[in-house]
């Protein structure tokens, strides 16, 4: 397994790999890896010849007062997991090289990024699209793997890839959950044991919505209310949003269309913001 820090070195190697006929798969991450990240590596191992995983805590996707300074880091642990999982190249660029003095170009997706998480975190998706465009130009993947856990991010990045003509295929990995149903997230490490117990209501609330659909209820508002009332049972949970949306556009929908509609939600547990979703 190669570990590369320099942008030039990474870009030269990707060019060489492409010229040699190697199909490159790429997993962009912010590190503190868990089984969800690694399931994306597994997806690409099946479909590509060389898997690159990047670790970069991207400062410009964090708003003022968010958790950039305390975002968890464990590079040694990450390297071990990457090695065990068969990652070929780990790319760990430096912030000062990624955003050189004078960096003044940002990429803004104007539609999908505006609602849901974009409302609470206004510059977040601009940070995500900008860093991903840069990483795509550096790592030059044929295929990129993204997690369904960040459903809105998937739609925003697919839109950017189409709009900016990146010759990249997107594969989307299912949400990887703990045994008790909590979606894996680097941010789960912030939770106290009491908060961790309350966090179980997140998945429980999604399943309450799903259950209604199973009983034939197809009204989005009714589903949302069921989700909200389950979340309210947890003392420490504050709602950011709960919506029923079209999974391909992230637009709110009144009527559920099976396999096309999804519940998306974001909640606060004290200062920890967690997101989750379920395709109905």
List residues with catalytic annotation: 37
Q: Is 183 in the site for ligand AMP (CB under 6 A)?
A: yes
CB of residue 39 to ligand AMP, shortest distance in Å: 6
Cα-based torsion angle of the residue sequence 34, 90, 130, 109 in order, rounded to the nearest 10 degrees: -50
The phi and psi torsions of 126 (rounded to 5 degrees) equal -65, -40
Q: Is 176 in the site for ligand AMP (CB under 6 A)?
A: yes
CB of residue 188 to ligand AMP, shortest distance in Å: 9
Within 133-152, the residues that bind ligand AMP by CB under 6 A are: 146-147, 149-150
Within 38-97, the residues that bind ligand AMP by CB under 6 A are: 39-40
Q: Is 25 in the site for ligand AMP (CB under 6 A)?
A: no
Q: Is 209 in the site for ligand AMP (CB under 6 A)?
A: no
Q: Is the Cβ–Cβ distance between 91 and 4 less than 8 Å? A: yes
The phi and psi torsions of 267 (rounded to 5 degrees) equal -135, 160
Helical packing angle, 151-163 and 124-139, nearest 10°: 60
The phi and psi torsions of 242 (rounded to 5 degrees) equal -135, 130
Q: Alpha-carbon distance 109 to 63, whole Å?
A: 17
- Which CB, 30 or 263, lies closer to ligand AMP? 30
Q: Is 125 in the site for ligand AMP (CB under 6 A)?
A: no
Of positions 93, 173, 209, 220, contacts ligand AMP by CB under 6 A = 173
User: For binding to ligand AMP (CB under 6 A), which residues are involved?
Assistant: 29-30, 36-37, 39-40, 146-147, 149-150, 173, 175-176, 183-186
């Amino acid at each position: 397994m190669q570990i590369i820090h320099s942008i030039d070195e990474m870009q030269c190697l990707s060019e060489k790999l492409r010229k040699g006929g190697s199909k490159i798969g790429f997993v962009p991450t912010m590190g503190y890896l868990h089984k969800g990240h690694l399931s994306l590596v597994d997806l690409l191992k099946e479909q590509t010849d060389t898997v690159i995983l990047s670790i970069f805590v991207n400062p410009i996707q964090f708003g003022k007062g968010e958790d950039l300074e305390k975002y968890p880091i464990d590079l040694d642990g990450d390297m071990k997991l990457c090695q065990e999982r068969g990652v070929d190249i780990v790319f760990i660029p430096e912030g000062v090289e990624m955003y050189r003095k004078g960096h003044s170009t940002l990429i803004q997706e104007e539609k999908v990024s505006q609602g849901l998480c974009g409302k609470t975190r206004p510059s977040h998706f601009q940070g995500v699209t900008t860093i991903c465009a840069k990483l795509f130009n550096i790592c030059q993947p044929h295929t990129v793997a993204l997690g369904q856990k960040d459903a809105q991010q998937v739609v925003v990045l697919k839109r950017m890839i189409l709009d900016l003509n990146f010759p990249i295929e997107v594969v989307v990995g299912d949400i990887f959950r703990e045994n008790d149903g909590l979606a894996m997230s680097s941010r789960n490490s912030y939770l106290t044991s009491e908060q961790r117990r309350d966090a179980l209501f997140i998945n429980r609330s999604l399943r309450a919505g799903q259950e209604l659909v199973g009983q034939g209820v197809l009204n989005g508002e009714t589903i949302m209310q069921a989700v909200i009332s389950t979340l309210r049972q947890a003392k420490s949970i504050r709602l950011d949003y709960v919506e029923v949306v079209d999974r391909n556009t992230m637009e709110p929908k009144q009527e559920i269309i099976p396999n096309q509609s999804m519940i998306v939600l974001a909640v606060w547990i004290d200062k920890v913001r967690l997101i989750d979703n379920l395709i109905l």
